[in-house]
Amino acid sequence: MRTLAVLAVFATHLIGWPRGGFVGIDVFFVISGFFVTDMLLRAAGPTGAVSPGRFWLDRARRILPTALAVLIATYVASVFLLPDRVHDIGVDALFSLVFLANWRFAAPGIEPGSPLLHYWPLSIEEQFYLVWPLLVLAITALVVRRAWSRGRWVGLVAATSGVLTAASLGWATYQTAFSPHGAFFDTAARAWELGVGALLATAVGVFTHTPVWMRPLLSWAGVALITASLVLISPDSGGFPVPWALLPVAGTALVIAAGIGSEPMFQPLLRNQAATYLGDLSYALYLVHWPVIVLLGTVMDTSVYFYAGALALSFGLAIACHHFLENPLRHGSWSAVRQAREDMRHGLFHVERSTKVAAVAALILITLSVITFAARPDRYQQTHPAAPCCGHIE
């Protein structure tokens, strides 16, 4: 599911296909709500307690290193490629750093096309991650004090999720009617999508008993709804996020429900190794692709060379970030670093084959992007010196 969402958003930004971005973000939100709530409920299972501090630390190790690296790299590149806008991009970076980018881009008068525009959904997710564990902790404390059963605890979490989801959906309906631009970026107007995922997580015990024959039907029905969303939803159709977002949200919920407990049969679209790897790569790919497209567009005409260069550079940087920044800092520790130094000292250190393959693949893709940049036809065109950064090289 993450693979399909990232590819939809990527297609949106690369070829100007707005339907993909609308649908991809909705899919992201439902998946995030499900996995975060499921993680909190599982963590509280053995001990009967939720640790927000531990949860936030794990999330920080997961998302901050790559997000911070992309922010810094984008700002530095903007100094050279977008000097007239570097101040605004710096402000965008600060809002993105503290996960308030959605409110920044919702404000009137903000110039569109920022290379950091794609941080707004991450901001909404992180705001959800900040508040939701505290609510689960409060519910857990109440349940422990009254010595209620685990079933009653999960039911109370589900009821809270349902009430908040319904309230958010109502607010989104109102905002869509009277302020559609604000509704698009409004945390309260998009929280219901995360809430649907949270509700699914509280019903894991029910969906684990789904009959085997029904799982592929649910999965393909969900894929069909998401595909229909790609066709039906557009910026000109109006009614977004409500009611149109209900379509991809329902489709994503069906796909997730079909995979709870065991993977559905006859679903090669989501279960092949390529889709799994792209899913692992999805976070890094999402972070790097939009700055690459915007910044590369300042020095290249829109042509097959631009598309090939943006595609190669995005995947090359994503592979490098995932394997050499995201994973080491997420799973590493000081003891592992000390052990690696000892192994190097005694000639026992060996790099895993997957790491070598990733390094070679990233290098090849980045090299291909450089070749397409150097070979583009507009490289030899001359432009007026008073119009820099307009798609040509002086």
Angle (CA) 180 182 184, round 5°: 70
Looking at the fold, whether 247 and 393 belong to one and the same domain comes out as no
CB 295 within 8 A of CB 20: no
Is residue 238 situated within a structural domain?
A: yes
Is residue 351 situated within a structural domain?
A: yes
Higher model confidence: residue 3 or residue 365?
A: 365
Is residue 371 situated within a structural domain?
A: yes
Number of domains in the chain: 2
Looking at the fold, whether 220 and 120 belong to one and the same domain comes out as yes
Domain span at residue 118 reads: 2-267
Looking at the fold, whether 354 and 215 belong to one and the same domain comes out as no
Looking at the fold, whether 325 and 252 belong to one and the same domain comes out as no
CB 219 within 8 A of CB 267: yes
Which range has the top average pLDDT, 40-54, 121-135, 331-345? Answer: 121-135
The per-residue pLDDT of the chain, averaged, comes to: 85
Say how far apart CA 186 and CA 175 lie, in whole Å: 9
Is residue 285 situated within a structural domain?
A: no
Q: What integer is the mean pLDDT of 194-222?
A: 93
Looking at the fold, whether 238 and 323 belong to one and the same domain comes out as no
Say how far apart CA 299 and CA 113 lie, in whole Å: 15
Is residue 280 situated within a structural domain?
A: no
| Each residue's pLDDT tens digit, 297-336 | 999 988 899 999 999 999 999 999 999 999 888 766 656 5
Is residue 377 situated within a structural domain?
A: yes
Looking at the fold, whether 51 and 113 belong to one and the same domain comes out as yes
Longest dimension (CA), the chain: 77
Is residue 283 situated within a structural domain?
A: no
Looking at the fold, whether 257 and 150 belong to one and the same domain comes out as yes
Q: Is the predicted pLDDT of residue 11 greater than 70, yes or no?
A: no
Looking at the fold, whether 249 and 307 belong to one and the same domain comes out as no
Is residue 291 situated within a structural domain?
A: no
Looking at the fold, whether 308 and 209 belong to one and the same domain comes out as no
Say how far apart CA 333 and CA 50 lie, in whole Å: 23
Residue 338 burial (CB count, 10 A): 10
* Whether the model pTM is above 0.85: yes
Looking at the fold, whether 208 and 327 belong to one and the same domain comes out as no
Q: Which of 251, 267, 283 is the last residue of a domain?
A: 267
| Each residue's pLDDT tens digit, 373-386 | 999 887 766 444 44
Q: Give backbone dihedrals phi and psi of 108, rounded to 5 degrees, phi first.
A: -70, 145
CB 117 within 8 A of CB 105: yes
Determine whether 16 is exposed, middle or buried from the number of CB atoms within 10 Å of its CB (0-12, 13-18, 19+): exposed
Compute the half-sphere exposure of residue 18: CA atoms within 13 Å on the CB side of its CA: 8
Res 233: pLDDT: 81
CB 348 within 8 A of CB 311: no
Q: Which of 217, 252, 267 is the last residue of a domain?
A: 267
Say how far apart CA 219 and CA 4 lie, in whole Å: 13
Looking at the fold, whether 135 and 256 belong to one and the same domain comes out as yes
